[in-house]
Amino acid sequence: MKNAEFHLALPCEDIEKTKDFYTYKLGAKLGRSTDGWIDINLYGNQITFTKVGDFNFDFKNYRLGDHVLPSFHFGVIIDIHSWGKLYSRLFSMDLDVTTEVTFFEKKVGEHLSFFVKDPNGYMVEFKSFKDHREIFTV
């Protein structure tokens, strides 16, 4: 199965703020929706956010090299042109965007990465691999 899309369902506190973040700020497309849930098309992948009210969301972190990363996050792997455009756009919007970082520099799996926090507290990672063929290479 070469080109399978993923589906992820997550709770959210505010549908309108979540819709604004993903469609306006990230530039994703809105899919089906109601007052209680929305589908977001994030680079061809479906994320469903369902309004559930308050929920406890405690990030645990881990270390990768010299960097501390959120252990619970999700993301998308995109080409370097799209990655650069999105990073510049989000960074200029006064959002909680991490500084770009290169992981596994000069090693198999080298990639640029940054994180941005959505209105629900989720960390969304955007990666761009130097060599796309190395995404799953060990």
Mean pLDDT of 109-117: 91
* Helices and strands (DSSP H and E) totals, the chain: 2, 10
Q: What is the pTM of this model?
A: 0.78
53 versus 36: which is more confidently predicted?
36
Share of the chain above pLDDT 70, in %: 85
Q: What is the pLDDT of residue 126?
A: 92
Per domain, the residue ranges of the chain are 7-134
**Dihedral sign computed on CA atoms, order 88, 48, 23, 44:** positive
The string of pLDDT tens digits covering residues 75-88 is: 899 999 999 999 99
HSE (side-chain half, CA atoms, 13 Å) at 15: 13
Q: Are the CB atoms for 7 and 1 separated by under 8 Å?
A: no
Distance CA(24)–CA(41), nearest Å, equals 13
Find the DSSP H helices in the chain: 15-19, 80-91
Mean pLDDT of 101-127: 89
The CATH number that domain 7-134 falls under is: 3.10.180.10
- Residue of 100, 128, 132, 103 lying closest to 114 (CA atoms): 100
94 versus 64: which is more confidently predicted?
94
The string of pLDDT tens digits covering residues 119-135 is: 888 889 899 999 988 88
37's CB contacts (< 8 A; 6+ apart) are 15, 48, 49, 50, 51
